[in-house]
Structures are given as C-alpha cells and as structure tokens.
C-alpha cells in the first residue's frame, strides 16, 4: 500500500516557519515603522481625551490617585512616542503593544478600587479599550502582534477577574458581577478579535506588497526598488559596508519574441523571474526595470562576492526551459554588468551607470557572461553610448 503524500504538510510547515520568523522585507518594515508612529500619535491624543473625561467626572477626593495614574499614563505615551520616532528596532512594536494592554488594565484597576467590581466586570466602556489595543496592533502589518496583544489582554483580564473572585487586598464586593457566562463571552470575543485582526493584518501586508509590483513577473517595479535602494545606501554609509548592484539583460530577447510570439516571451520572463527570485537571498533586492532587464542589489556584499553570486545566477537562468511549442523547449541566456558602492560613485544612479556600461561590454564580448570591475578601486567606466537609432538603455 502506497504511503500518503506528505509533501503538502512539509510545505505548509515551511510556510508557517517562514511566517513566524523575523520580517526581512524592507517595504513591510518601513510600513510597520510608519504604523507604529501613527499609533504613537493617536495614543497621545486618545490618552489626553480620556484623562480629561475622567478628571471631569472624578470627585476631588480621588484626584490624588488619579493624578498619579495620569502621570504614569502620560509618561507611558511619551516614552512609546519617543521609541516610535527615534528607535527603529523590531522589539519596539512588541513592547508598545504590551505596554498598551498593561496601561488599559491599570485604568480598570483604578476604577475597580474606586467604583466597585461592577465598574470593571460590567462596564463595557473600559472593557472595550482592549479591542482598541488589539485593533491598533493590526496597523503594524504583523499577525503575530495581533495574537500577542490579544493573548496579553486575555491573560491580564483573567488575572484581574481571578483577583476579584479571590480578593487579594482589593476589598471590593463581588455580588454576582463575575457570572461565568458573561466572563466566558468576554474571553471568546477577545480571542475572536485577535484572530480577525491577525487575518486583517496579514491581508493588509499582502496588499501592501502588491503596491509597486510588476504584475507579469511578481518582482518589484523600478520606483519602489529605487526607494529601497536609497535606504540600503543610507544603511551602508552608517555601517561602512559595501553595496553591489547588477543589471541582467536577456540575450536576443527581441528575436525570441519575434520568433515565438509575445505570449511565449511573457512566459519566458515569468520563468526567469521565478528562477531569479529563488537564486538570491532574502536580504537581496530584485526588480524588473522594464522589458527584459532585471536589477539585483546585494547589500553588505563586496564586488568579488557579488560577481560570484551573479555568475551563479547566470548559470541558473541558463538552465531554465521555456515551452515554446508542443514538445519543444528553448533556453535563454543573460548578460550582466556589475557595479559597486562606493567604488563606482556615491549615488545609486552612479553605481547603476557603471553597471549599465559593463552590461554593454558583456554584450559586446559575445553575451551570456558577467562583466565586473576588474579593479574596483579604479575609476568607473564611462556610460555606454547606444548605437544610432536605439534607446539609451535602462537609464534613458
């Protein structure tokens, strides 16, 4: 008896591990930082409004405890705002979500001590603040943060209700306010809220990634790629690390299109893009610059290492088979030019110009080859001059 196919289980497990691992896509990381800053600004305004509301309804004899709570809350909001705008680290959203849950619980404890158990167990105004915290977690484009936040809400609410049912110095009455049915519903709703927001965050992440994506190949388009390259250059300057850029161009692709037709040409571009994507690291940046040209950036990679990587990519692409007819397949080859920062210039345009000139040299030498700086410390080559009647290439 044949054993059941478990390949789909392995693929699903690998996909799950990939989702749980740290985010490496710079577009999503940038969106997450923007979301964190937006939440920080809203938190300050929301906290100020809530504080004014509570001060307006609280008797004067409660102002001492309330003032302390407001001061702690204000420091909490200011600290998280400072972290959001000053510290671009992956742990900031996790700390921010946890702090929001805890400050919400602190508000409920304050009302509990001054308003009795029903003010916490049954007053939906304060209970629903947990849902605001869970929804704000979704603005970070990370489903894990939504589950983390919902889990903390359930944990802290459970501890609070346990303390009410088994008084630990809170000295408040419990007259039936902690009915099991009502509390179970609250826990179920918080769980569902976390799951729904996790799905929303994951969907928002996918939509965000689709913006600026070439719909034929699934690779990044030129504009978002250049924006991310500028960020990588800024990071390279701070760290003193190299950055290499390669331009790859399919050889004789116009003749391929004319011979087999544009639908086959599109399939060739898709097959090349798929193999190209699988041949680079997660930290590398890949884009289709137009037509049959692709650009790959290698952060923190010296030019010699990048040359070896591009040679490997060229060999991999040469093995791609494209179905051009019934039972007939063809292969395509690529030529590549390589540039590096800072040897080829201080800007991305300068590095790209050097890589483009070396791409032209690779074509001149017979195609299906990689041309890298023979000595990366020499002056970069001049930009190529296209033959009369042709376009200026990727920079034109």
pLDDT at 122 over 60: no
The model's pTM is 0.54
pLDDT at 45 over 90: no
What class is the 222-386 domain? alpha beta
Domain extent listing, the chain = 25-210, 222-386
Q: Which residue has the higher pLDDT, 84 or 385?
A: 84
353 within 8 A of 395, measured Cβ to Cβ: yes
Quote the mean pLDDT of the chain: 78
pLDDT digits (tens, 9 = 90+) for 91-110: 888 988 998 899 888 878 77
- Lowest mean pLDDT: which of 86-95, 176-185, 294-303, 371-380? 371-380
3-state DSSP of the chain: CCCCCCHHHHHHHHHHHHHHCCCCCHHHHHHHHHHHHHHHHHHHHHHHHHHHHHHHHCCHHHHHHHHHHHHHHHHHHHHHHHHHHHCCCCCHHHHHHHHHHHHHHHHHHHHHHHHCHHHHHCCHHHHCHHHHHHHHHHHHCCHHHHHHHHHHHHHHHHHHHHHHHCCCCCCCCCCCCCCHHHHHHHHHHHHHHHHHHHHHHHHHHHHHHHCCECCCCCCECHHHHHHHHHHHHHHHHHHCCCEEEEEEEECCHHHHHHHHCHHHHHHHHHHHHHHHHHCCCCCCEEEEEECCEEEEEEECCCHHHHHHHHHHHHHHHHCCEEEEECCEEEECCEEEEEEEECCCCCCHHHHHHHHHHHHHHHHHCCCCCEECCCCCCCCCCCCCCCCCCCCCHHHC
pLDDT digits (tens, 9 = 90+) for 198-233: 999 888 887 776 667 787 888 888 888 888 888 888
What is the bridge-based pairing of β-strands 285-290 and 293-299? antiparallel
What is the bridge-based pairing of β-strands 370-371 and 334-341? parallel
Residue pointed to by tokens 């609070």: 160
């Amino acid at each position: 008896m044949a054993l059941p196919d478990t390949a789909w289980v392995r693929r699903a497990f690998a996909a799950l591990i990939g989702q749980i691992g740290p985010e490496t896509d710079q577009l999503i990381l940038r969106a997450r930082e923007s979301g964190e800053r937006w939440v920080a600004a809203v938190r300050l305004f929301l906290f100020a409004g809530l504080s004014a509301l509570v001060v307006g309804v609280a008797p004067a004899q409660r102002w001492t405890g309330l003032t302390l709570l407001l001061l702690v809350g204000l420091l909490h909001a200011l600290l998280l705002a400072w972290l959001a705008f000053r510290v671009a680290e992956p742990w900031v959203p996790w700390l921010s979500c946890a702090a929001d849950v805890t400050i919400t619980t602190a508000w409920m404890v304050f009302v509990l001590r001054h308003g009795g158990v029903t003010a916490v167990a049954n007053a939906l105004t304060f209970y629903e603040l947990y849902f605001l915290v869970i929804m704000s977690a979704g603005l970070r484009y990370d489903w894990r943060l939504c589950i983390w936040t919902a889990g903390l809400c359930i944990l802290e609410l459970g501890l609070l209700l346990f303390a009410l049912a088994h008084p630990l110095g809170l000295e408040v009455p419990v007259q039936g306010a902690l009915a099991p049915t009502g509390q179970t519903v609250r826990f179920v709703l918080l769980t569902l809220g976390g799951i729904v927001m996790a799905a929303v965050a994951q969907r928002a992440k996918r939509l965000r990634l689709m913006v600026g994506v070439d719909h034929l190949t699934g690779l990044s388009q030129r504009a978002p790629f250049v924006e991310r390259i500028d960020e990588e250059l800024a990071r390279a300057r701070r760290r003193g690390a190299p950055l290499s850029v390669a331009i790859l161009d399919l050889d004789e692709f116009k003749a391929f299109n004319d011979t087999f037709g544009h639908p086959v040409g599109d399939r060739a571009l898709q097959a090349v893009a798929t193999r190209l994507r699988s041949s680079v690291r997660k930290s590398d940046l890949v884009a289709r610059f137009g037509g049959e040209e692709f650009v790959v950036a290698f952060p923190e990679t010296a030019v010699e290492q990048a040359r070896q990587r591009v040679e490997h990519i060229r060999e991999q692409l040469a093995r791609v088979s494209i179905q051009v007819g019934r039972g007939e397949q063809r292969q395509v080859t690529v030529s590549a030019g390589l540039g590096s920062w800072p040897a080829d210039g201080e800007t991305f345009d300068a590095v790209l110009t050097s890589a483009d000139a070396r791409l032209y040299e690779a074509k001149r030498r017979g195609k299906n080859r990689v041309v890298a700086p023979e000595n990366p410390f020499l002056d970069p080559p001049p930009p190529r001059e296209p033959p009369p009647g042709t376009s200026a290439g990727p920079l034109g």
